[in-house]
Amino acid sequence: MILRTSRLVLRPWRPTDRITFAALNTDPEVARDLGGPLSRAQSDAKLDRYIAAFEQHGFSRWAIEDARGLVMGYAGLMPAPADHPLGPHVEIGWRLARAAWGLGYATEAARAALDDAFQRLGLAEVLSYTASDNLRSQAVMARLGLRRDLSRDFSGIYGGVPWRGMVWSAAAPDASLSAREETIR
């Protein structure tokens, strides 16, 4: 399964991507939003979760490749853990290497993943969240047409650091209110 845009290829992660994935997760600026850089073991565990999610659910965070085949980061969906403060839901997120910032890749890749969520997967709603100081992600959310949902803001601990999440939501173009409610139960 591969998603293509005019400039990007989104593909499932491979075990051979560990070094590239670890490099992304050790950059302090890239990893600033959720507790800072990951150790190699933490990065490998995260990649294993992405690979397992794709095998189990048919979706995950996609590896983003440019026209040269270089992995620039990721964008895509993940099911929320069972103990998430918002309960069961699917979340869209992205993370790109600094060299790929400001070029529209996050929006382009996330749009492809969101379209896949509604068209292939038939989801009625997808959530996204970020910290109040992560203006780059908020700008991507706005460009994607996600709606700010103050009633769902939540707090949690990530990487041992308290974090407050601002929630945004996207509904399938033809989803009824009852279908959206059912998706998050």
CATH code where residue 160 lies: 3.40.630.30
Instruction: Tell me the residue range of the domain where 65 lies.
Output: 3-183
Question: What's residue 175's pLDDT?
Answer: 55
Phi, psi of 157 (to 5 degrees): -115, 120
Question: What's residue 146's pLDDT?
Answer: 97
Question: What's residue 12's pLDDT?
Answer: 96
pTM (2 decimals)? 0.89
pLDDT 10s per residue in the chain (185 long)?
899 999 999 999 998 999 999 999 999 899 887 678 999 999 999 999 999 999 999 999 999 999 999 999 999 999 999 999 999 999 999 999 999 999 999 999 999 999 999 999 999 999 999 999 999 999 999 999 999 999 999 998 876 778 899 999 999 987 554 444 444 44
Nearest by Cα to 170 from 77, 73, 85: 77
* Total domains present in the chain: 1
Nearest by Cα to 133 from 57, 29, 10: 29
Question: What's residue 177's pLDDT?
Answer: 44
Question: What's residue 180's pLDDT?
Answer: 40
On whether the CB atoms of residues 71 and 8 are closer than 8 A, the answer is no
